[in-house]
């Protein structure tokens, strides 16, 4: 099962992707997590990516495409994968299509989680991410059991640098300009599914399970 997640920043892609990965036993590949891991480890890729991420801009395609194509060719992806945060531009979608086509494969499901812009600012302001394991919480909608502590690994919960209100506005503009066109790309490919992302986290997941069949 080869799945991609579409939707604005804060729509709930990561939250759902983690649950899908567990339910269907396929790897969850988040390009945002990969970049944040590189930043934490002080790699050259991390340093380059950070310049763009801090401004709310997309990291250039040439730094993203090969990384993802190499990742999905690893053994653990033989039964499928879930991509979260990639593709984000038409050239990235084309690079993915081409890499899969070479192996006579294609994306099976593009899940578009729809949340209006006016809900997004609130989603981002309340998002808290685990510094250690990347688990995602929300102060109101998915609070951790203990304040500022990750339920999974006890790590410290932080507000991401790029979740500050000024940067969120820029990221939404970038989403509408560069990423939203992917919706019609995958609609044409016949694999698009639109999901209401404004309802409870558990309800969104039930909808997704209906689509994926389980």
Q: How far apart are CA 96 and CA 161, in angstroms?
A: 29
From the list 103-111, 122-130, 144-152, 187-195, the region that binds ligand ADP by CB under 6 A is 122-130
* DSSP code at position 155: P
Q: Cβ neighbours of residue 177 under 8 Å, at least 6 residues apart?
A: none
Q: In this chain, which stretch among 40-48, 101-109, 137-145, 147-155 interacts with ligand ADP, using CB under 6 A?
A: 137-145
Residues noted as catalytic: 13, 88, 127, 160, 171
**Contact call for residue 134 and ligand ADP (CB under 6 A):** no
For the chain, how many residues are written?
214
Identity of the residue, 42 or 104, whose beta carbon is nearer to ligand ADP in the bound complex? 42
Site string for ligand ADP, 35-74 (x = CB under 6 A): x----------------xx---xxx----x----------
* Token pair belonging to 27: 């790897």
Does residue 157 interact with Zn ion by CB under 5 A?
A: no
DSSP 106-152: ---EEEEEE--HHHHHHHHHHEEEETTT--EEETTTB--SBTTB-TT
Secondary structure of the chain: what % helix, strand, coil (to 5)?
A: 50, 15, 35
Window 142-201: residues binding ligand ADP (CB under 6 A):
142, 162, 171, 197, 200-201
| From 23, 76, 116, 152, residue interacting with Zn ion (rule: CB under 5 A) | 152
The answer to whether the beta carbons of residues 64 and 92 sit under 8 Å apart is yes
List residues binding ligand ADP (CB under 6 A). 7, 9-15, 31-32, 35, 52-53, 57-59, 64, 85-86, 88, 92, 123, 126-127, 136-138, 141-142, 162, 171, 197, 200-201, 204
């Amino acid at each position: 099962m080869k799945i991609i997640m579409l939707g604005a920043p804060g729509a709930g892609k990561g939250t759902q992707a983690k649950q899908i990965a567990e339910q269907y036993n396929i790897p969850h590949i988040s390009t945002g997590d990969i970049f944040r891991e590189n930043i934490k480890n002080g790699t050259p890729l991390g340093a380059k990516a950070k310049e763009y991420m801090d401004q709310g801009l997309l990291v250039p395609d040439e730094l993203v495409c090969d990384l993802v194509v190499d990742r999905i060719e690893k053994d653990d992806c033989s039964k499928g994968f879930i991509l979260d945060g990639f593709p984000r531009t038409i050239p990235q979608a084309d690079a993915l299509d081409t890499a899969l086509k070479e192996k006579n494969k294609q994306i099976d499901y593009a899940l578009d989680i729809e949340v209006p812009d006016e809900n997004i600012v609130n989603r981002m302001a309340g998002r808290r991410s685990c510094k250690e394991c990347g688990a995602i919480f929300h102060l109101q909608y998915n609070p951790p059991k203990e304040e500022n502590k990750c339920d999974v690994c006890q790590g410290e919960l932080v507000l991401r640098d790029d979740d500050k209100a000024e940067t969120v506005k820029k990221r939404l503009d970038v989403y509408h300009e560069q990423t939203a066109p992917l919706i019609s790309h995958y609609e044409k490919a016949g694999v698009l599914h639109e999901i209401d992302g404004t309802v409870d986290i558990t309800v969104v997941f039930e909808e997704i399970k209906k689509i994926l069949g389980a």
